[in-house]
């Protein structure tokens, strides 16, 4: 029985490793060597810091919010795109869309060329843009939540409501902002006072609109269907998944492939998996081999005893007296699997682990005085 329990423990440990549940393993086992535990690279930003970071775009239409958040994870491409746009000012409409489509930029960067003033603002405030991208990479849910908090503040202050340019609606606890005309998008301009509560400027940010406090103004609308509608990266491909806490692109969760920022959540996963692997490496496979050999030997001895003249009945009776029921060898053969009972229970436990995930809150590290630290519609 001791050997059987040892084998079961080894198999369970292996199953947990293969299920990849680093958060669970770390919380139960802890680091293999406390002295070698890697300290977090930064602390998570506070709710106020995230609100300060997203305040300049929180009242943008949902699709534009999605484009800005996704594009901010590619600051280098954004700078390249802005320079390219300055060099190709003669291109308009279909010609511009066709030329943009040929570039190797991420779809989010291509999409932002539909809104030159937004692209230009992100380029001029590159420190803020980079901090926003870093925050979204490491804590998309936190970023999306901060936007909703500010929308509610602006609505409570009486400054966020439907206009001829955009429609503001509430779905449960979520405030949704959409263009009044699906084919024309207006970029709102406002000051920090729009929220009715103090929101400090991000250090060095210069993109606030020169408007009266509590007022949202709009410039010329951008026609998003005529020239750009035929491209997958265009306006209609973007959204905000407020329930899931992330940006969507063509009805799928947007995943940035940018290497501009370190994903501290992934780093934590790797550290936790290293701890699990160290623990599992301590298991001696020779113990399993010796246990299996002993089980085979015991099974052989049992078979020989049952087949001895005059001895089989006694052994079978003894088996029955010990609670094993009939000692008929055909029945024994059907129930001889040493792990028949463990298999079902082990699978059930493994299934319960599959849904577990660890989403640690990363911080963001904005340049130029930024914070140190570390997501389409339903």
The answer on pLDDT for 97 being more than 80 is yes
Give a yes or no: residue 297 inside a domain: no
The answer on pLDDT for 24 being more than 50 is no
**206-226 average pLDDT score:** 90
* Rounded Cα–Cα distance for residues 159 and 211 (Å): 13
The answer on pLDDT for 136 being more than 80 is yes
* Rounded Cα–Cα distance for residues 16 and 14 (Å): 5
pLDDT digits (tens, 9 = 90+) for 302-329: 556 555 555 544 454 444 444 444 444 4
Contact indicator for 112, 353 with CB cutoff of 8 Å: no
Give a yes or no: residue 319 inside a domain: no
Give a yes or no: residue 271 inside a domain: no
* Rounded Cα–Cα distance for residues 52 and 241 (Å): 21
Label residue 132 exposed, middle or buried (CB < 10 Å: 0-12, 13-18, 19+).
buried
Contact indicator for 364, 134 with CB cutoff of 8 Å: yes
Question: What's the pLDDT band for 370 if we cut at 50, 70, 90?
Answer: very low
| Distant-in-sequence contacts of 299-306, Cβ < 8 A, 24+ apart | 299/336, 303/329
Q: How many CA atoms lie within 13 A of 221 on its CB side?
A: 15
**288-298 average pLDDT score:** 63
The parent domain of residue 55 ranges over 47-266
Give a yes or no: residue 41 inside a domain: no
Question: What's the pLDDT band for 294 if we cut at 50, 70, 90?
Answer: low
DSSP string, 261-274: S--HHHHHHHHHHH
180 or 305: which leads in pLDDT: 180
**111-123 average pLDDT score:** 97
Give a yes or no: residue 313 inside a domain: no
Give a yes or no: residue 167 inside a domain: yes
* Rounded Cα–Cα distance for residues 81 and 78 (Å): 5
Residue 260 DSSP label: S
Average pLDDT, the chain: 75
pLDDT digits (tens, 9 = 90+) for 181-195: 999 999 999 999 999
Give a yes or no: residue 361 inside a domain: no
User: Into how many domains does the chain fold?
Assistant: 1
Output the pLDDT for position 207: 94
Residue 60 DSSP label: S
Smallest Cα–Cα separation from 123: which of 87, 79, 72, 60?
79
CB burial string 321-336: b at 16+ within 10 A, e below = eeeeeebeeeebeeee
The answer on pLDDT for 131 being more than 80 is yes
Taking CA atoms, 327 is separated from 231, 253, 305, in Å, by 74, 59, 12
Smallest Cα–Cα separation from 70: which of 40, 347, 62?
62
Residues 6+ apart with CB under 8 A from 147: 54, 57, 58, 65
Q: Could you give the 3-state DSSP secondary structure of residue 176?
A: strand
Give a yes or no: residue 24 inside a domain: no
Q: Phi and psi for 347 in degrees, rounded to 5?
A: -65, -40
The answer on pLDDT for 18 being more than 80 is no
* Rounded Cα–Cα distance for residues 224 and 243 (Å): 26
Output the pLDDT for position 47: 87
Q: Could you give the 3-state DSSP secondary structure of residue 144?
A: helix
């Amino acid at each position: 029985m001791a050997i059987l329990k040892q084998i079961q423990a080894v198999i369970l440990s292996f199953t947990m490793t293969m299920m990849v549940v680093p958060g669970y393993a770390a919380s139960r086992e802890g680091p293999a060597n406390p002295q070698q535990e890697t300290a977090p690279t930064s602390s998570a930003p506070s709710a106020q810091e995230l609100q300060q970071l997203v305040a300049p775009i929180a009242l943008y239409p949902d699709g534009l919010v999605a484009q800005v958040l996704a594009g901010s994870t590619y600051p280098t491409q954004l700078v390249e795109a802005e320079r390219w746009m300055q060099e190709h000012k003669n291109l308009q409409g279909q010609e511009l869309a066709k030329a943009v489509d040929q570039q190797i930029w991420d779809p989010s960067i291509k999409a932002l060329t539909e809104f030159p003033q937004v692209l230009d603002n992100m380029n001029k405030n590159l420190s803020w843009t980079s901090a926003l991208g870093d925050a979204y990479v490491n804590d998309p849910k936190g970023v999306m939540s901060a936007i909703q908090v500010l929308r509610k503040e602006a609505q409570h202050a009486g400054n966020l409501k439907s206009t001829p340019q955009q429609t503001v609606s509430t779905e449960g606890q979520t405030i949704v902002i959409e263009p009044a005309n699906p084919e024309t998008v207006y970029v709102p301009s406002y000051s920090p006072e729009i929220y009715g509560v103090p929101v400090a400027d991000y250090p060095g940010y210069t993109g606030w609109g020169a408007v009266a406090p509590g007022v949202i103004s709009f410039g010329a609308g951008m026609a998003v269907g005529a020239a750009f509608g035929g491209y997958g990266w265009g306006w209609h491909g973007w959204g905000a998944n407020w329930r899931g806490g992330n940006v969507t692109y063509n009805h799928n969760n947007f995943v940035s492939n940018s290497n501009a920022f370190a994903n501290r959540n992934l780093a934590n996963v790797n550290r936790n998996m290293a701890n699990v692997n160290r623990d599992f490496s301590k298991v001696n496979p020779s113990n399993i081999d010796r246990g299996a050999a002993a089980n085979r030997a015991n099974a052989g001895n049992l078979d020989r005893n049952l087949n001895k003249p005059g001895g089989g009945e006694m052994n079978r009776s003894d088996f029955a007296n010990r609670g094993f029921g009939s000692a008929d060898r055909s029945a024994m053969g059907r129930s001889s699997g040493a792990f028949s009972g463990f298999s079902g229970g082990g699978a059930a436990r493994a299934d319960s682990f599959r849904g577990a995930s660890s989403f640690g809150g990363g911080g963001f590290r904005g340049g130029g005085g930024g914070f140190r630290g570390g997501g389409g519609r339903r």
